[in-house]
Amino acid sequence: MRFTFSSALRSCAVLAIAALVATNGSVRAAMGAKTGIGLSWMDKTCKPCTDFYQFANGNWIKHNPIPPQYSTWGSFNILYNHNQDVLHSILEAANKANAAPGSNEQKIGSFYGSCMNTAEIDKAGTAPLQPLMNAIDGVASSRTLAPALAQLLLANVNAFFGIGSGADFKNSSMSITQIGQGGLGLPDRDYYLKTDAASKKLQQRYVAHVTQMFALLGETPAQAAADAQTVMTMETTLAKAQMSRVEERDPQKVYNKMDLAGLQKLAPNFDWATFFKDSGITPEAINVAQPKYFAALSSDLATWTPAQIKTYLKWQTIHTFASALPHAFEQANFAFYGQTLTGAKQQLDRWKRCTASVDRNLGEALGQVYVAKVFPPSAKAQALEMVKYVKSTLRSDMGQLSWMSPATKAKAQAKLDAFMLKIGYPDKWRSYAGLDVTNGAYASNLIAAYQFNNKFDYAHINKPVDRSLWGMTPPTVNAYYDPTVNEIVFPAGILQPPFFSATGDMAMNFGGIGAVIGHESTHGFDDEGSQFDAKGNLANWWTPSDKAKFNAREQCIINQYDALSPEKGVKENGKLVVGEATADLGGLTIAYKAFERWQAKHPRKIIDGYTPEQRFFLGWAHVWASSQRAQTIALRAKTDVHAYDKFRVNATVSNMPAFAKAWGCKAGSPMVRPAKQRCAIW
C-alpha cells in the first residue's frame, strides 16, 4: 500500500475524489451557457437572506433526485461526468486501435479493454492473486512476515501499514521513507471503537461481508465465519492503537524521524531490514508517522499466531482486488462498501468504473490525450492569469491585516511569493516504459500497475524532491495545496464550467474558480499550512502573539461548525473540518476582493436581474449544489475534512459583510451573524 506522506497533509478544494461519480449531463446545458447563472436551479420562494443555499439551489435539488447508482449527486458530478465522457471516447478508440505494442495508446487501450472483458475476468477467477497468496502461505511467524508484506504492499494491499516517499518535513528538499498506520477494512478507527447500537449493527454487517468473501474463496461456512471473526478481532486491535483523524492533522505529531536501528528498537517483532531490502528501499531516514501505533503493532505481532496473520492478509488481499475479480466478488464488495456504507442502490456502469481505473493507474498517459482535446494552451494561460490575480489580492490583503504584526506579515508574504503554480497538466509527462499491459485478466494488469507505480514512488526515496511531479491527474475535478512543496495545483479537469469559462461572466468565474484558487492559497496559512515556511519546512515563522491571535480566529470557526448538524444524530466535528472551513471562508473572502478589483476596471452589468456582486455569490453556491444519502452524510462526518456542502455555502457567507451588502440582508437575518459571533481571518 502506497503511503505518500505529503498526501496525508495535502489539502483539497473539493470532496474526497472517491466521492466524485456522475451520470450523463452537460454543465453548459445545466447552467446558463453564457452567464453561468442557474436560473432554473433557484428556489424563489426562499429568501436569500434566510437560506442562501436553498435560494440558489433548492429547485435543482428538488428536481434532481440522487440516481440509484450514487451516494451523492451535484454540480461536481455533472462536471466529472463530462470529463468521463471525454475519457471514455479516448479509451474506446484506443482499445479498438491497432496501436504499437508498448505505446501509451496500447497501454491505456489494453488496460481499459481488460477491465471491460468480464468473460476473461470470470475465467481467470482468483488465479491472478496466486503469487500474493503463495507469499502469504510462506508466513511461518511474525519474524518471517517481512518478505510477504513487502510483496503485498508493493501490490497496494492494505495490510498493517503503508509506505512511500515524501519530503522530510524539516529538510523539504529531500525525499525520505515514510510509514504510517493502516490495515483497516472499515473507513476509520472509530467504526471499530464505538459501542452504540448503530455502530454495533454495522460491525456485524462488516463481519458478515468478510464471511461472504471467505466463502467465495472456497471456505466452508464454519471456517469462513471463524476467519471473519479473526479479521474483526485483529482489526479492532489495530484500530485501538491508531491516531484519530483530528490528531493526524497536526504535523508536529506525525513527524518522528529515525533511522533503521531506531525503528527496529521501536517495533522489534518485525524484520524491518528484510522488509526494506525486499521492497527495494535503502532507508537512510524514516519518518514514522505514528510511533505508538508501530510499537503496539509489534507487540500484537508477537501474540498473533501465523494462522491468524495469514487469515488477515488473505482478507486484505481479496478486499483490495475485489473489483477485479469475478462477478460474485465484485457484487459482494459493492453490497457492503457501496450500499451499506454509502447508501448507493446500484453499481456504476462498468465503463465508468473502468475509465476511472485507467485514470487512477495510467493517469498521465491518458491525461496527455485528454488535455489535447479539452484544454488548449490559451485556456491554460487564462487560468494562470486568474491565479495570479487572486494571489496578488491575497498578498495585498496580508499587508492590511490588523491582527498580524509586520514581522509575521513579511514572512507570510514571502511564503506566498514562493508559491509554485501548476495549472492544467504537467510540463514533463511521466513515462510508463517498463509497465507491461496485456489483453489478459484485468487483475493481472491491476497488480502490474500497482507494482509499477509503487516502484516509481519508492525510487524517489533518498533523492531531492522532484517538484515537477503532480499529485492528481489532469482530468481530476479537484485542486490541492501541498505544504511540503509550497505549491498550489489546479488540474485541467476543474478548469471548466461551472468553475471557469473563458467566455463566461467574470462574476461567476470569481465566485467559482476564483474562490477555489483563494481556498488553495489560504491553505498555506491554515492550521496545518501555517506550520510550514516558504521552503516547505516544518518551522515556526510566527511571533507568539500573532500565532495566538490566529489560533483564536480558527477556534471561532471550530465553534461554529461544532454547532452544526447535517442530519439528525450526526454532528460536524469542528476540529476535523477547521482547515477546509478556514480555506472556504478565506478563499471566498479573497476571491471577492479580487473580483472587486477586477470590477472596478470594467463596466458593471445587470444580468438576469442580478448585480455582479450577487452573481459572485451565486457562483459559489451553484458549485456546491448537491444531495447526499444519509449513510454518506454519516460517513463523511466521521472521515471527511470537508464539511457538509450546504454549510460550506451558508456558514461561509454568513460571516461575510460583503454578502449581506450584496443581497440587502438586515441585521438579525439567518444569513447575517452578529458582529461578535462573526469569524474572519483574511
Whether 7 shows a pLDDT value over 50: the answer reads no
For residue 126, the model assigns a pLDDT of 98
User: CB–CB of 325/298 below 8 Å?
Assistant: no
Last-in-domain residue among 324, 347, 368: 324
- The verdict on residue 353 lying in a domain is no
* Residue 93 CA: distances (Å) to CA of 108, 130, 369, 436, 595: 10, 32, 11, 20, 42
How many other CB atoms are found less than 10 A from the CB of residue 157? 27
Rounded to two decimals, the pTM is 0.93
CATH number of the domain residue 173 falls in: 1.10.1380.10
Q: Are residues 47 and 193 in the same domain?
A: no
CA–CA gap between residue 66 and residue 133 (Å, rounded): 39
Q: How many helices (H) and strands (E) does the chain have?
A: 31, 10
Whether 28 shows a pLDDT value over 50: the answer reads no
- The verdict on residue 29 lying in a domain is yes
CA–CA gap between residue 318 and residue 332 (Å, rounded): 11
Q: Is 520 among the residues known to form the active site?
A: yes
All three cell numbers of 636? 463523511
Q: Are residues 154 and 219 in the same domain?
A: yes
For residue 303, the model assigns a pLDDT of 97
- The verdict on residue 625 lying in a domain is yes
Residue 401, phi then psi, degrees to nearest 5: -65, 130
CATH number of the domain residue 493 falls in: 3.40.390.10
Q: Are residues 308 and 405 in the same domain?
A: no
| Each residue's pLDDT tens digit, 96-143 | 999 999 999 999 999 999 999 999 999 999 999 999 999 999 999 888
User: CB–CB of 480/524 below 8 Å?
Assistant: no
What average pLDDT is seen over the chain? 93
Find the mean pLDDT for residues 397-409: 95
CA–CA gap between residue 264 and residue 273 (Å, rounded): 8
Find the mean pLDDT for residues 634-644: 95
Last-in-domain residue among 286, 307, 324: 324
Q: Is 584 among the residues known to form the active site?
A: yes
Q: Are residues 578 and 672 in the same domain?
A: yes
For residue 504, the model assigns a pLDDT of 85
CA–CA gap between residue 123 and residue 119 (Å, rounded): 6
CA–CA gap between residue 291 and residue 619 (Å, rounded): 45
- The verdict on residue 670 lying in a domain is yes
Match 452544526 to its residue by C-alpha cell. Answer: 564
- The verdict on residue 350 lying in a domain is no
For residue 22, the model assigns a pLDDT of 32
3-state secondary structure of 375: coil
Find the mean pLDDT for residues 513-517: 95
Find the mean pLDDT for residues 604-633: 96
Band the pLDDT of 600: cuts 50, 70, 90: very high
> Choosing from 584, 613, 640, 645, which is the catalytic residue?
584
Find the mean pLDDT for residues 431-444: 97
Last-in-domain residue among 296, 324, 352: 324
Q: Are residues 654 and 575 in the same domain?
A: yes
- The verdict on residue 104 lying in a domain is no
- The verdict on residue 112 lying in a domain is no
All three cell numbers of 3? 503511503
Residue 286: which H helix or E strand, with range?
strand 286-288
Position 567: which residue type? E
Position 660: which residue type? A
Q: Are residues 611 and 666 in the same domain?
A: yes
Q: Are residues 272 and 173 in the same domain?
A: yes
Band the pLDDT of 297: cuts 50, 70, 90: very high
- The verdict on residue 208 lying in a domain is yes
Q: Are residues 308 and 388 in the same domain?
A: no
Q: Are residues 171 and 272 in the same domain?
A: yes
Query: What is the torsional sign of CA 273, 279, 285, 287?
Result: negative
Residue 144, burial from CB neighbour count under 10 angstroms (0-12, 13-18, 19+): middle
Find the mean pLDDT for residues 439-451: 97
Band the pLDDT of 35: cuts 50, 70, 90: low
| Each residue's pLDDT tens digit, 339-374 | 999 999 999 999 999 999 999 999 999 999 999 999
Rg (CA), the chain: 25
Whether 195 shows a pLDDT value over 70: the answer reads yes
For 113-176, give the secondary structure using H, E and C. HHHHCHHHHHHHCCHHHHHHHHHHHCCCCHHHHHHHHHHHHHCCCCCCEEEEEEEECCEEEEEE
Domain range for 409 is 13-87+376-429+464-677
3-state secondary structure of 9: helix
Mention every residue, 6+ apart, whose C-beta is less than 8 A from residue 27.
75, 78, 79, 82, 496, 497, 498
> Choosing from 520, 526, 533, 554, which is the catalytic residue?
520
Quote the number of domains for the chain: 2
Q: Are residues 41 and 161 in the same domain?
A: no
User: CB–CB of 371/425 below 8 Å?
Assistant: yes
All three cell numbers of 537? 519546512
Strand partners, 177: 165, 286
Q: Are residues 515 and 593 in the same domain?
A: yes
The CA-based dihedral angle spanning residues 87, 93, 99, 102, taken in that order and rounded to the nearest 10 degrees: 20
Mention every residue, 6+ apart, whose C-beta is less than 8 A from residue 430.
364, 365, 456
Percent of the chain with pLDDT over 90: 90
Q: Are residues 213 and 307 in the same domain?
A: yes
